[in-house]
Amino acid sequence: MSRRPLWTLRRAVPDGVELAWRDTGVVPADGDLGWDNPWAAAPEATAAPGAWDEVPVMLLHGLAGDGRSWTDFARRLAAVGRRAIVPDLRGHGQSGRSADYTFEAFRDDVLALAGELALERVDVVGHALGGHVATMVAQARPKLVRRLVVEESPPPPRDEAEAMPFADRNRRPRARMGPKEVLSTLPTLLRFDQRALGHVAPAYRTPSPDWWAALPAITAETLLLYGGPSGPVPLNRLDAQAEAIPDCRIATFAEAGHRIHSGSPEQFAEVVLPFLTA
């Protein structure tokens, strides 16, 4: 099987930013599913078109990444008949750039994509920035999101007092990456719009009482993934997030670090696949 890219669709979202995504549920006429990560096996379509589980899984990457980081998990999903929809967020990968990199803009792109694909129900899995966006999608459209997985996404502070300790911390996310993975990320970093960093990093340090107030609106069964103390997520704040979401629990990966799904793919799959397929 060749490793050519599979960009099944492209469209302009309402404010004119072009969004690119991969879709394992759409197989080209030659039957070659394809992917664009040379370091990982391409997903294999084990279900005929129209025979996938009726609820697809949307996979949202983190800041400065792109959808290719989900290749391994998309393959695992395909093996159990679950369709994966994997966008590149605005300013990342093959998607267009913008002057607007607010959390709300990322959320609206995902909602627009769900509308374009006529999705009535979807499971959403998000890492870091993608996890925060996934949470906002579940807040805005509770009936859309059936199950929600949030991996290593720092909850924003609730008030100014909580913001200062987080802003002053010296910890940085630890990502376990082999030499091949490091090399494979270089094109991703080159395509990343650095302006997004200037929007997202301060937003994580800004108190967000409205976000906290909207957590009880989430009706999705929710799983929060914690990669251990080496990551950027304050555990006490994650506990508070879990308490605010009606149906939520935390799974801890003690030494996984910030990139659980790519650094510890077996352990990630052991926890997340049963949650999504139960």
Residue 21, SS3?
strand
Task: Tokens 């991969």: give the residue.
Answer: 22
Q: At the top level of CATH, which class does the domain 9-277 belong to?
A: alpha beta
Q: Amino acid identity of 88?
A: D
pLDDT at 3: 43
Highest mean pLDDT among 49-63, 109-123, 160-174: 109-123
Please state the rounded mean pLDDT for residues 172-198.
66
Q: Does residue 91 have a pLDDT over 60?
A: yes
Rg value, the chain, Cα: 18
For residue range 107-163, list pLDDT tens digits in order: 999 999 999 889 999 999 999 999 999 999 999 999 999 999 999 999 999 999 888
Q: How confident is the model at residue 171 (pLDDT cuts 50, 70, 90)?
A: very low
- pLDDT above 70 coverage of the chain, percent: 79
Between 278 and 99, the more confident residue is 99
Q: Does residue 231 have a pLDDT over 60?
A: yes
164-181 burial: b if 16+ Cβ within 10 Å, else e: eebeeeeeebbbbeeeeb
Q: Does residue 165 have a pLDDT over 90?
A: no
Tokens linked to 238? 């994650």
CA distance 228 to 53: 33
**What sign does the CA torsion over 60, 61, 64, 67 have?**
negative
Between 6 and 87, the more confident residue is 87
Q: How confident is the model at residue 167 (pLDDT cuts 50, 70, 90)?
A: very low
Residue 147, SS3?
strand
Please state the rounded mean pLDDT for residues 77-84.
89
pLDDT at 78: 86
pLDDT at 23: 86
Q: Are 75 and 61 a contacting pair, CB within 8 Å?
A: no
Quote the Cα angle for 194-200-206, to 5°: 150
Tokens linked to 138? 């579940």
For the entire predicted model, the pTM comes to 0.88
For residue range 246-259, list pLDDT tens digits in order: 999 999 998 899 99
